[in-house]
Amino acid sequence: MNPSPIATFDPAAPADRPAFPQDRWYVAGFAWELGDKPLARTLLGQPLVLFRTADGSVAALEDRCCHRALPLSLGTLEHDGLRCGYHGLLFGADGRCLEIPGQAKVPGKALVKAFVLRERDQILWLWHGSDPQAAPNREPPAYPHHDSGQYRFGGDVYHYAAPWQLIHDNLLDLSHLGYVHLRTIGGNARIHMNAQMQVSGDEQSVRVVRHMLDSEPPPTYRDAYPFEGRIDRWQEIEFQPSHLCIWTGAVDAGSEPIDTADRGGFHLRGFHGVTPETSETCHYFWTQATNPQADPEENLRRVLEQTRLTFDEDKQVIEAQYANLLRFGERPMVDIHVDAGANRARRIIASLLAGQA
């Protein structure tokens, strides 16, 4: 009997393949990335090729032809699947070889590993399971802000020469905005460092809520929304091991509460999928959704432009931080009050890895 080509990531992977929390969905990309060409991407230590089939569904295969090991990402998409660019073997979405040019019989062992890939709310989710034979035990996370009609959004992908948890640290500690992002979403650094902050969560998640009342709107906020003057500003961060959702925004100071679900004002809803590539590199998949009040297309363009500037600044800081960590080696680091959320997230990841070990 031939083994099934449908697989999740092998928990008994080679020792040089790093371990990451299992039995969860990780972001693999965005729906708009899959067009008429296959997409190569290494995720969780596994080289993959992602593609869309003729019926519109998405697929992920190991990026290696079983014949002579050429990356399948160098092949071409056809109606029935992905054709290798070396000798023309055609593979279906399940990894089975459907055709070998010039040869009538297709050997049963002519197959490549297939991985569970799902599309939801324009996000591509890859299942990373502890049991290679088991199907996912839940659906990918929902992110309705992409398709609700309440917001306009856009996004992009960054590759980081730094481990994934350094990005967690950055996103869970928004006090750095006043120092790193002065040109865009920053604002007064002292107000950021002294913001009212609440940290909560459970064994799988962290929630950080920060309020900055009666503050000056930063440049991005002023450009996108007709504030009358000073603002009451909120930052709400929801951490899961595979992604974060960050809801930020503001209303005119004193105009309404900023802790209700139906608050008005200016909104930025950020989706942040942080997926390891290796133990030292990662992919950062982000979108930003907003609710511009006038000239929505132009305001969205400006918000996305300034969001990219912001993330460029973050990338420069985080990669420089990691380079310095490597240069100086194991040195003690001092924690301060703004590290509460990031430290809690690191404990969650450590606990998950210890449990699966």
Looking up residue 339, the CATH number of its domain turns out to be 3.90.380.10
Q: Is 343 in the same domain as 254?
A: yes
**CATH number of the domain bearing residue 28:** 2.102.10.10
**253, part of any domain:** yes
Residue 187's closest CA among 175, 177, 173?
A: 177
- For 341-357, b/e burial (b = at least 16 CB within 10 A) is bbebbbebeeebeeeee
What local confidence, expressed as pLDDT, does residue 42 receive?
98
Q: Is 103 in the same domain as 151?
A: no
Looking at the 3D structure of the chain, how many domains does it have? 2
Cβ-contact 244, 272 below 8 angstroms: yes
pTM (2 d.p.): 0.91
What local confidence, expressed as pLDDT, does residue 14 receive?
47
What local confidence, expressed as pLDDT, does residue 220 receive?
81
- Alpha-carbon distance of 89 to 67, in angstroms, equals 8
Query: Which parts of the chain register pLDDT below 70?
Result: 1-17, 176-195
